[in-house]
Amino acid sequence: MASDVVMAQDSVDVPAVPNQLEQFTILAKSAKGAACLELIKQVLEAPGIHVFGELLAMPNIAELANGPNAKYWNTLNLFAYGTYKQYTKNPKDYLELTPVMKKKLQHLTIVTMAVHTKCIPYNQLLEELEIKNVRDLEDLIIEAIYSDIIHGKLDQKNCQLEIDSALGRDIRTEDIALIWKVLKEWSQSCDSVLGCIEEQINRANSEKARRTKHKEQIEQEIINVKKALKTQLTDADEAMTSDQRETTPGQECRKKSCKSKSGRPIGKSWFKPFT
């Protein structure tokens, strides 16, 4: 068995269900009696529908909470906010789940667990989902990934599910204040990080400007030194040329008297010719 099985969200083509929730919502507005109850069952089994807050907010469905058909409202509320563990603790309070409903509720339970941690151990999943063996658990997780409910991978070596992202579930009204608090703290943290980044940018710009100025100063000094050296070399060349051109009259006369026009030495010869 491979130690790490990676599941990509585009590994299979999941058929889209366009506006299916909207269609159920429209039908629910006029549904009464048995039609309303049947609609709830269809919504709970419908693929691609994992949020139910809009239906719960409808008056004709909300009134089921306190009537003889409270199990329908309880079950819809369970799928919106609850987990599979809550269902197994008090199954008499809910409708009897079909295999399709059971699997959907288990998938939603994984989504809820992913909110608290991105690495969910197999033993926690087995307990919360009440599954007997790892093979069935992995099959359930793979179906959730293929259904675009969660994105992640099975880490079989470490016996855990690694979550990259998951769909959002319905939010209770009483949870809005907590969410607002978390978002506010997150916003403040972002402002703090942004302030630190801007400070680092300003510091980097100042350092860059200082280095640029220092570089320009060095380059100007190099230019000045080159000019000075060039001036010194020019003056030295002019001085040497002037020295070569300057000669005394006595030296010229001595040079001329040393040789005759024919190029022979001038003066009396000390050698006699042969007779």
pLDDT of residue 275: 47
5 φ/ψ angles, rounded to the nearest 5 degrees = -105, 115
94 token code pair: 């809910």
pLDDT of residue 16: 38
Is the distance from CB of 78 to CB of 86 less than 8 angstroms? yes
19 φ/ψ angles, rounded to the nearest 5 degrees = 55, 30
258 φ/ψ angles, rounded to the nearest 5 degrees = -75, -25
pLDDT of residue 176: 81
Residue showing tokens 């050296």: 229
Q: Give the sign of the dihedral formed by CA 116, CA 120, CA 121, CA 126.
A: positive
In 3-state terms, what secondary structure has residue 6?
strand
36 token code pair: 């309303």
Task: Return the closest-CA partner of residue 170 out of 50, 86, 62.
Answer: 50
Q: In what order do the strands lie in the sheet with 150-155?
A: 5-6, 150-155, 160-166, 119-121
Residues 213 and 221: their CA atoms lie apart, in Å, by 12
Least confident of 62-76, 126-140, 251-265: 251-265
Read off the pTM.
Answer: 0.63
pLDDT of residue 272: 52
pLDDT of residue 246: 62
pLDDT of residue 234: 83
pLDDT of residue 149: 93
Q: List beta partners, residue 160.
A: 121, 155
pLDDT digit string, tens, across residues 124-146? 999 999 999 999 999 999 999 99
pLDDT digit string, tens, across residues 239-250? 777 766 665 455
The single-letter code of the amino acid at 26 is I
Report the residue count for the chain.
Answer: 275
pLDDT at 98 over 90: yes
pLDDT of residue 13: 34
Task: Return the closest-CA partner of residue 82 out of 52, 59, 60, 54.
Answer: 52
Average pLDDT, rounded, for the chain: 82
Residues 147 and 129: their CA atoms lie apart, in Å, by 18
**How large a percentage of the chain has pLDDT more than 90?**
51
* Cα–chain center distance at 99: 39
pLDDT digit string, tens, across residues 2-43? 334 333 333 333 333 446 778 888 888 888 888 889 999 999
Tell me what the mean pLDDT of segment 243-261 comes to.
Answer: 54
Tell me what the mean pLDDT of segment 214-238 comes to.
Answer: 87
